[in-house]
Amino acid sequence: MDGTDFVANQLPDGTQVFTFDSKVYRLSAIKKAAYKFGGLFHILIEQHDHDTEVHMKPKESSAPIDKLVGEFCNEVLDQELRETVAEETAGIRNLLLAQAFSKTSLIDPAMETAEYDTEHREEAVSNE
């Protein structure tokens, strides 16, 4: 690809073809967006070495294609960002789940019920 994140083309039969750069958009994010739009389009996804191609053919000819195509692209971006946030917060999420289902506390019991006060907490830590 030539530096763009995705390229869109329309075939004569009304099929929209998108090519997404695999360095920018994960296949899993594209699949999630495609699943969301599966009620409106027949969708085919092809993965290549450096990009992913999505063919979307409207199930009904009366659908507002331009608007839906734009919404699909936004949904791919939304799903990609959701995956990024899930990766970045995996440690915290796993700790919270472990704490919730643990029979014992996984964190300092004094800190579980303590009020969070950074000014006094710094003093307490330095005195230990």
Question: Would you say residue 38 lies in a domain?
Answer: yes
Whether 47 and 106 map to the same domain: the answer is no
Are residues 43 and 25 part of one domain? yes
Identify the domain containing residue 95 by its residue range.
Answer: 91-127
The pLDDT mean for the chain works out to 83
For every residue of the chain, DSSP letters joined together read --S-SEEEEE-TTS-EEEEEETTTS-HHHHHHHHHHTTTTEEEEEEE-SSEEEEEEEESSTTS-HHHHHHHHHHHHHHHHHHHHHHHHTHHHHHHHHHHHH-SS-SS-HHHHHS---HHHHHHHHHH-
Please check whether residues 55 and 99 belong to one and the same domain. no
Q: Does any domain span residue 114?
A: yes
Model pLDDT for residues 61-112, shown as the tens digit of each residue: 776 787 888 899 999 999 999 999 999 999 999 988 888 888 777 676 666 6
